[in-house]
Homo-oligomer: A and B are copies of this chain.
Amino acid sequence: MANDLQTTLSPLAPAQFPEMLPVAGVRFGVGRCGIKASSTKLDLMLAVFDKPAGAAGVLTKSSTAGAPVRWCRKHLANGKARALIVNSGNANVYTGKAGDDAVKAAAKGVAELVNCRPGDVFVASTGVIGETLPIDKVVKALPKLHGKLGAKLAPGRWHDAAVAIMTTDTFPKGASIATEIGGVPVTITGIAKGSGMIAPDMATMLAYVFTDAKIPADVLQALLKSAADKSFNSITVDSDTSTSDTLQLFATGEARHPAIVKPGDPALRAFRQALDAVCLDLAHQVVRDGEGAQKFIEIAVTGAKSARAARCIGLSIANSPLVKTAIAGGDANWGRIVMAVGKSGEAIAETSLDIFVGGHAVAINGAPPAGYDETPVARHMAGRDLKIHVDVGVGRGKATVWTCDLTHGYIEINADYRS
């Protein structure tokens, strides 16, 4: 029911799944093992790397993180991966020792099939919190999924993989870019799920990015951390941080470009931009599929003490229920932006505070501009893609964050989620 409702409400879905470039060295097996009640819904995705891939990851900071997150944290230290197994429909969070046992069983089952150590298998689960994962169903389905891998990645498999990890999502999320390292063509292709930063019952956001580049794990990790801060760590739907948020980057190393040894390598310039763009695209798709979302909102903050302070102010605005409800109602009520800036706790110069909505000044130097006319602001607010810019006048720190509005749809989806 939640899904039908959301499909009706959300006007922000893209027209179609994007064209996804293949990444040499990775293959997918996708299927159904019966965790999701529906007999037609995909709920299991296996990715296998032909040889050990470089692995980097950014995981939730929640202190109630799920068993799969604990497993990934531990094995990311090795910086390599042979496989990835993800189920949807159950988050395997807050499930005690049974949760850890389930992760081990899944990793062991995959390791036997691809002939590697269990620690080279990354595991993720997304769905309801606090219910025991029926791990037998997962393990039983593994040989069939492994048999589907084929010799190389079939074109439609990216789409199926993106669908298999969905929970409250109303559309599968993917992004893909062709770039180069040292003049050698390289591909970056990623998938994500998440209906907002958060739908914690469904234990939220997962994103997997693959590349055929050959990059050491420590460099991969630095590049991914930087991309994550500007994308997934700069979005919010409802301020509720999930127990399972996972972003991983795998590099199969099939591309024959010059060796890379450090994140600052000039040869990585285009790759870095492309990785940032893929992460940002996926992050934006998560916001556009935010529960109940009707509007996509970009909030740029400049003039802050630091980039960190700017992001904090941006997220204070983006997380404010009063800002988000005003936007849902198309109300150019910028006093609420002033409130949200003020509650962030970051340094500002109140007499230099400027606020622009859709490029129109609504406040200059700490007061409404002379002869302020709300007409063009109201026109912008009536649209679907909104831009807010705040300059707080104390420094050169800047950041941009993205969010959606807070609508009746959000309440409806979440007030009776489990029914």
**Residue positions of A touching B, CB distance < 8 A:** 61-65, 91, 93-96, 98, 128-131, 198-201, 203, 238-243, 319-322, 325-326, 328-329, 331, 333-336, 338-348, 350-351, 353, 363, 365-368, 406-408, 410-412, 414-419
A408 CB contact (under 8 Å) in B129, B343, B411: B411
Assembly CA distance A326 to B71 (angstroms): 30
Check A240 against B340 for contact (C-beta < 8 Å): yes
A192 to chain B, nearest CB (A): 19
A242 to B408, CA, bound (A): 24
Within the complex, which residue of B201, B243, B348, B415 is in contact with A342, where a contact is CB–CB below 8 Å? B243
The closest CB in chain B to the CB of A419 belongs to B331
Among the listed B130, B328, B410, which residue makes an inter-chain contact with A335, where contact means beta carbons less than 8 Å apart?
B130
**What's the nearest-Cβ distance from chain B to residue A244, in Å?**
9
Residues of B within 8 A of A199 (CB): 322
A242 and B351 alpha carbons, distance in the complex (Å): 18
Contacts A243-B339, A333-B417, A335-B201 known; A321 to B238 CB distance under 8 Å? yes
A388 to B344, CA, bound (A): 28
Interface pair A94/B363, CB less than 8 Å apart: yes
Question: Looking across the interface, which residue of chain B has its beta carbon closest to that of A94?
Answer: B338
With A63-B346, A411-B407, A417-B326 given, is the CB distance from A200 to B339 under 8 Å? Answer: yes
Chain B residue numbers with a CB within 8 Å of A414 are 321-322, 325-326, 329
CA distance A238 to B336 in the complex (A): 13
A-B residue pairs in contact (CB < 8 Å), sample of 21: A62-B339, A63-B341, A63-B342, A94-B367, A96-B365, A128-B335, A130-B338, A130-B363, A199-B322, A200-B335, A200-B339, A238-B322, A239-B239, A240-B322, A240-B343, A243-B342, A328-B415, A329-B416, A329-B417, A329-B419, A408-B412
Residue of B nearest to A343 (CB): B241
Complex contact B322–A321 (CB within 8 A): no
CA A141 – CA B333 in complex, angstroms?
29
B415 touches A325 (CB 8 A): yes
Q: A201-B336, A329-B419 are in contact. List 15 more A-B contacts (CB 8 A).
A: A62-B342, A64-B341, A93-B338, A95-B367, A130-B338, A199-B322, A201-B335, A239-B239, A239-B320, A239-B321, A240-B321, A240-B322, A329-B415, A408-B408, A408-B411
